[in-house]
């Protein structure tokens, strides 16, 4: 509440000048009490008051009072009172987050059963699930930092990678928290919007604290220690938030709130979002005041009656009253605010908003088809988002390229183009390696002859080709049987060798 009052202002301040003529007309038109009496002198005051016509009317509310109050409310509403930011389809609702997990032997301590590392993985999983569909990246560090996963909205990508993290997969033991921070901030710089870094750790080398003093992103710490214990080195850090481990979900809920608050404050500072015009709230009291025009003698009631009479005839509908006051797009926005995305898609007449509602509702092919018909960079960007969520990686790449051609040097579109290209390269590389199991390190566990009567005899079998369909990218990936720890160990070793060279 206090934050809202601090942010309160008017978007269009000049419209408040209309209050001056409104107040002037009010003063000029409103009947004024007269202290003079037209009756002859000598009449008793109580008799004079009884004989004076209209004496009671001077104490009533006049029609001009209602009209001017309603006009003043309309003027204030037109000025655009606001105290919060509006949502933007092109800006994420939640902060991008990089989670830096310490993977060392000390994290194998069992004072948090089954171990600090396993409890840390549980907390990270809970946080990822609570943030869906926000973008989250994962970094693992010991003596060297390594990017486990880039920023992604798909929690299913992060979970298996997270489970494969153990001290055995790290190429070098130690504490490179400062280098992990640099890697995390480089990942956030690709997102184009302010984000946060969360360190999940049980201790930190004091020599690493220097780099945290110059952090450009908001840094949070989740300490994996028994309740009551703390990492005293973190007390010297400023502009950071330390959340201790808890046996319930209070620590995850607190992290989620504070990360989102820091994100919204950063967006306010960058003016990335428009202000949410709340002037419509004043339309309701103005409409209620207009009901007083139905009092006897207030002739404007006939005008309102005429407005109802000229309404087009149609079948009776319990919800039809909404059409009298709200446009289809306004009704669609109300449905969007209530997270009824499928209903909003049916209500919107504006194609871009309809496409965005279908995107939020998970109707990715329909959303992509709508965005493809709109010749704007925002539509091409949204089409790419729809395509990539529908796992149409090549069309997604084409859509992001179109967005960049319409708006060059767009960091969000460039980032998504790189992500889509990387996913497509990974899928195609995996498919090629799956064709030759030896190259992928996949060999036969055992040899079984299908013709026991002629073991070793050359046979020819005609494969069925009629009606056969190529495997999809998801089928290729699911067909790979690779140990995640071996995968991470080999990848981290390769990255470490490249860095040393």
- Residue 312, in any domain of the structure: no
Domain that holds residue 54: 2-32+42-84+277-294
136 class by beta-carbon count within 10 Å (0-12 exposed, 13-18 middle, 19+ buried): buried
- Residue 441, in any domain of the structure: no
Nearest in space to 164 (alpha carbons), one of 215, 209, 100, 121: 121
pLDDT tens per residue across span 52-106: 655 444 556 777 788 888 889 988 988 888 887 665 554 445 778 999 999 999 9
- Say which residues have a Cβ less than 8 Å from residue 492's Cβ, sequence separation at least 6: 140, 144, 146, 169, 170, 171
Q: Which of 428, 455, 479 is the last residue of a domain?
A: 428
> According to the model, what pLDDT value does residue 427 have?
82
| CATH number for the domain that contains residue 116 | 3.40.50.410
Residues 121 and 61 in one domain: no
Residues 111 and 47 in one domain: no
- Residue 249, in any domain of the structure: yes
Q: Which of 428, 460, 487 is the last residue of a domain?
A: 428
160 class by beta-carbon count within 10 Å (0-12 exposed, 13-18 middle, 19+ buried): exposed
Residues 140 and 26 in one domain: no
- Residue 449, in any domain of the structure: no
Residues 60 and 103 in one domain: no
What is the per-residue burial (b if ≥16 Cβ within 10 Å, else e) of 49-59? eeeeeeeeeee
Residues 371 and 282 in one domain: no
pTM, to two decimals: 0.51
Sequential pLDDT tens for the chain (501 residues)? 565 576 788 888 888 998 999 898 888 888 766 555 555 666 677 776 666 655 444 556 777 788 888 889 988 988 888 887 665 554 445 778 999 999 999 999 999 999 999 999 999 999 999 888 788 999 999 999 999 998 888 888 888 889 999 999 999 999 999 999 999 999 988 776 778 999 999 999 999 998 898 888 889 999 999 988 999 999 888 878 999 999 999 999 999 988 888 777 766 555 555 677 888 888 888 888 777 665 555 544 444 444 444 444 443 343 455 666 678 888 888 888 888 899 999 999 989 899 999 998 989 999 999 999 999 988 999 999 999 888 898 999 999 999 999 999 888 888 888 888 888 888 888 777 665 554 444 444 444 445 555 544 555 444 444 454 554 544 544 444 446 788 888 888 888 877 776
Residues 101 and 199 in one domain: yes
> According to the model, what pLDDT value does residue 104 have?
95
Residues 257 and 287 in one domain: no
The CA distances from residue 492 to 144, 145, 170, 180, in Å, are 9, 9, 7, 14
> According to the model, what pLDDT value does residue 449 have?
47
> According to the model, what pLDDT value does residue 329 have?
84
> According to the model, what pLDDT value does residue 11 have?
86
Q: At what angle are helices 250-270 and 116-131 packed, to 10 degrees?
A: 50
Q: Which of 395, 428, 461 is the last residue of a domain?
A: 428
Residues 263 and 283 in one domain: no
Residues 221 and 354 in one domain: no
- Peptide bond between residue 31 and the one before it cis (omega within 30 degrees of 0): no
Residues 259 and 111 in one domain: yes
The Cα–Cα gap between 478 and 414 comes to: 29
Written as six digits, the tokens of 185 are: 């901030």
In the chain, the number of structural domains is 3
- Residue 51, in any domain of the structure: yes
Residues 105 and 226 in one domain: yes
pLDDT tens per residue across span 415-434: 888 888 888 888 888 777 66
- Residue 460, in any domain of the structure: no
- Residue 343, in any domain of the structure: yes
- Say which residues have a Cβ less than 8 Å from residue 72's Cβ, sequence separation at least 6: 19, 22, 23
Residues 370 and 421 in one domain: yes
| CATH number for the domain that contains residue 400 | 1.25.40.10
The Cα–Cα gap between 98 and 159 comes to: 14
- Residue 108, in any domain of the structure: yes
């Amino acid at each position: 509440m206090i934050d809202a009052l601090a942010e309160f202002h008017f978007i269009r301040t000049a419209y408040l000048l209309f209050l001056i003529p409104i107040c002037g007309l009010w003063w000029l038109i409103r009947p004024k009490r007269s202290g003079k009496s037209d009756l002859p002198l000598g009449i008793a005051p109580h008799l004079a008051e009884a004989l004076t016509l209209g004496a009671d009317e001077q104490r009533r509310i006049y029609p001009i009072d209602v009209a001017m109050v309603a006009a003043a409310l309309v003027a204030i509403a037109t000025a655009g009172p606001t105290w919060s930011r509006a949502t933007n389809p092109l800006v994420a609702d939640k902060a991008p987050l990089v989670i830096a997990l310490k993977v060392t032997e000390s994290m194998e301590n069992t004072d948090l059963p089954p171990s600090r590392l396993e409890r840390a993985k549980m907390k990270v999983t809970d946080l990822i699930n609570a943030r869906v569909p926000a973008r989250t990246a994962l970094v693992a560090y010991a003596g060297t930092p390594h990017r486990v996963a880039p920023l992604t909205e798909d929690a299913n990508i992060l979970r298996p990678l997270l489970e494969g993290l153990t001290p055995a997969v790290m190429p070098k033991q130690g504490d490179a928290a400062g280098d992990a921070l640099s890697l995390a901030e480089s990942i956030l710089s690709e997102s184009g919007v302010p984000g946060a870094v969360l360190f999940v750790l049980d201790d930190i080398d004091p020599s690493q604290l220097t780099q945290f003093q110059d952090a450009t992103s908001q840094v949070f710490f989740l300490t994996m220690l028994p309740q009551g214990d703390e990492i005293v080195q973190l007390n010297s850090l400023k502009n950071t938030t330390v959340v201790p481990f808890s046996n319930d979900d209070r620590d995850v809920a607190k992290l989620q709130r504070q990360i989102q608050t820091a994100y919204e404050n950063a967006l306010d500072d960058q003016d990335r979002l428009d202000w949410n015009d709340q002037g419509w709230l004043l339309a309701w009291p103005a409409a209620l005041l207009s009901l007083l025009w139905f009092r006897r003698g207030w002739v404007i009631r006939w005008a309102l009656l005429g407005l109802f009479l000229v309404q087009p005839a149609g079948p009776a509908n319990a919800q039809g009253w909404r059409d009298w006051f709200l446009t289809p797009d306004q009704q669609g926005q109300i449905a969007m605010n209530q997270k009824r995305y499928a209903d909003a898609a049916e209500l919107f007449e504006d194609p871009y908003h309809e496409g965005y509602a279908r995107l939020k509702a998970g109707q990715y092919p329909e959303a992509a088809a709508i965005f493809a018909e709109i010749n704007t960079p925002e539509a091409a960007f949204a089409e790419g988002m729809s395509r990539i969520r529908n796992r149409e990686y090549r069309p997604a790449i084409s859509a992001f390229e179109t967005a960049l051609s319409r708006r060059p040097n767009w960091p969000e579109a460039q980032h998504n183009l790189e992500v889509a290209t990387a996913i497509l390269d990974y899928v195609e590389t995996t498919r090629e390696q799956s064709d030759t199991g030896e190259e992928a390190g996949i060999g036969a566990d055992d040899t079984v002859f299908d013709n026991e009567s002629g073991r070793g005899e050359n046979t020819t079998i005609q494969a069925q080709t009629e009606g056969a369909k190529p495997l999809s990218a998801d089928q290729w990936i699911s067909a790979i049987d690779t140990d995640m720890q071996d995968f991470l160990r080999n990848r981290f070793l390769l990255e470490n060798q490249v860095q040393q060279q």
